[in-house]
Structure 1
Amino acid sequence: MAGRIQSIERAAAILRLLAGGARGLSLAEISRTLELPKGTVLGILRTLQHVGFVEQDQPAGHYRLGGGVLRLGTRYLDGNELRTRALNWADSLAGRSGESVRIGTLHERHVLVVHHVFRPDDSRQTLEVGSLLPLHATALGKALLAFDPLALPDEPEPDAPGLPAYTARTLTSRPALLAELDTVRANGWAPELEELVEGEVGIAAPIRDRSGTTVGAIGLSGAVERLCDDRGLRMDQVSYVRDAARSISRELGAHPW
């Protein structure tokens, strides 16, 4: 059996590192983080630039992912059965709710956004397809965690720090998160109350396939002023999300519930 190719492993490590640096990283930062010689890193970066997978920002000299990676990712997402089956239902949910809609799947302890429908108005918005979101601080993430026990983070050591906080409302302790997931399972949908972004709330529900396995989640997000009333999250919007999740699940062969 042929062995692994070290240069490809290093190139993959650089691409993964750049994927987490929205503003780009310098040669020194990449070299230091991966503990590789600068000359080695520079040679790999120049090769990745040549094939379009990496771009260099001038004059700062920082490196970031190039358009070639996005095209590869888009081809993967286009072939994703979940996304294909969900396109029309996501558009419909955005139209009914008047809010932005995202579909996410579990990917390396994060939510991978595989489809994003803009809020149907004239506001300026950014496409989030391919983004990675925290599981514990988003409605999509909690919908995935609640119905997929393998997605739960391992039990931390007694002196380990809590989960990352993004706002004052983020659930940062494992017991608090587990209690929240119990409620999500009981209700069949997950809330997000200014836990990732202040002033923004969200609603999500699980998507199941023909075996009953949770394969993704669909959710909407928007300003707290639009999605909440005196009693909390608006239940008509919750109903829209759950209807969309059930419809997509039926498309995937799940039994009606």
Structure 2
Amino acid sequence: MARTIQSLERAAAVLRLLAGGERRLGLSDIASTLELAKGTAHGLLRTLQQEGFVEQDPLSGKYQLGAELLRLGNSYLDVHELRARALVWADDLARSSGESVYLGVLHQQGVLIIHHVFRPDDSRQVLEVGAMQPLHSSALGKVLSAYDPVAHSDVLEGERRRFTGHTVTDPKKLEQVLALTKGRGWGADVEETWDGLASVAAPIHSRRGLLLGAVGVTGAVERVCDAGELRARIVASVRDCARAISRDLGAGRFQAGRGAV
């Protein structure tokens, strides 16, 4: 088994700690949480600070993630072929649907949002790139779980939190939902993850027919649904967008539209 570098492991642990919870932590909090001597923790933080990965608030003395991580994160997203190919199509989907558009991939038993297009109106919105959505209740998650064997196992064997009264947590019922999702070629979430919101998503495939991710829209139930059902126009727009991105990634006509009925 290959040996690991302890200082790098500890530095990574510091960054993960700062990425969650209160986001700003003092030296004592970091040292005690990671079970490190204060001197060791301070040395790690000082090095990370010099490299721009960590910043220290001059008033409180507490530490937080630095701007260099954002730059590296954006660099990763820019070179991510899926996101690069989806940019124009996602913008078009936002305009045609009038709703927010999300591009997601499987990551650590959840859906990582790698691209987010704001709803095209003047409302105040928060960029959700880097946010996570659940596999079992979100439209993006259902699509990934229906088409990807790893995600399928994760969603059935992992924790399934009940977010609303509509969230499906029973494994047998969820299996049926995933079968329906794959059979019709798109996934739905009507107030299963967030009260008052509905989503629809469709899969994106590679030239070899492999699932790469999913694209979807999210908006208020009264706009996305009609009499409790997702509007056919929006479903069609999402599926057309997913097919277009898949074709740009080299998928053939059949692969780009697979799962459709």
- TM-score, normalised on structure 1? 0.89
1:112–1:133 contact (8 Å) kept in structure 2: yes
Q: Which residue of 2 aligns with 1:106?
A: 106
Q: Secondary structure at the match of 1:153?
A: helix
The aligned amino acid for 2:113 is: V
Q: Which residue of 2 aligns with 1:69?
A: 69
1:90–1:101 contact (8 Å) kept in structure 2: yes
The aligned amino acid for 1:168 is: G
Distance between the aligned counterparts of 1:167 and 1:137, measured in 2? 10
Does 2:212 correspond to 1:211? no
Structure 2: which 5+ runs fail to align?
Answer: 255-261
CA deviations 1:14-56 (Å, max 9, x no partner) are 2123223364344454444433334322322232222221234
1:155 Cα deviation from its structure 2 partner: 6.1
Q: Which residue of 2 aligns with 1:14?
A: 14
Query: Which deviates further from its counterpart, 42-51 or 63-72?
Result: 42-51
Distance between the aligned counterparts of 1:31 and 1:195, measured in 2? 39
Q: Which residue of 2 aligns with 1:153?
A: 154
The aligned amino acid for 2:87 is: L
Of 185, 195, 199, the match for 1:198: 195
CA deviations 1:193-215 (Å, max 9, x no partner) are 22222211111100000010010
The aligned amino acid for 1:208 is: H
Equivalent residues, number:
253
Structure 1 segments of 4+ aligned residues over 6 angstroms from their partners: none
Distance between the aligned counterparts of 2:189 and 2:26, measured in 1? 35
1:162–1:173 contact (8 Å) kept in structure 2: no
Of 154, 167, 170, the match for 2:164: 167
1:67 Cα deviation from its structure 2 partner: 1.3
Distance between the aligned counterparts of 1:81 and 1:12, measured in 2? 26
Query: Which deviates further from its counterpart, 247-256 or 11-20?
Result: 11-20
CA distance 1:63–1:21, shift in 2 (3 Å)? farther
Q: Which residue of 1 aligns with 2:217?
A: 220
2:145–2:155 contact (8 Å) kept in structure 1: no
Distance between the aligned counterparts of 2:161 and 2:28, measured in 1? 27
1:60 Cα deviation from its structure 2 partner: 5.1
Structure 1: which 5+ runs fail to align?
Answer: none
Q: RMSD over aligned Cα, in angstroms?
A: 2.3
1:172 Cα deviation from its structure 2 partner: 2.9
Identity of aligned residues (%): 55
Distance between the aligned counterparts of 1:3 and 1:208, measured in 2? 37
Of 236, 244, 249, the match for 1:247: 244
CA distance 1:28–1:89, shift in 2 (3 Å)? same
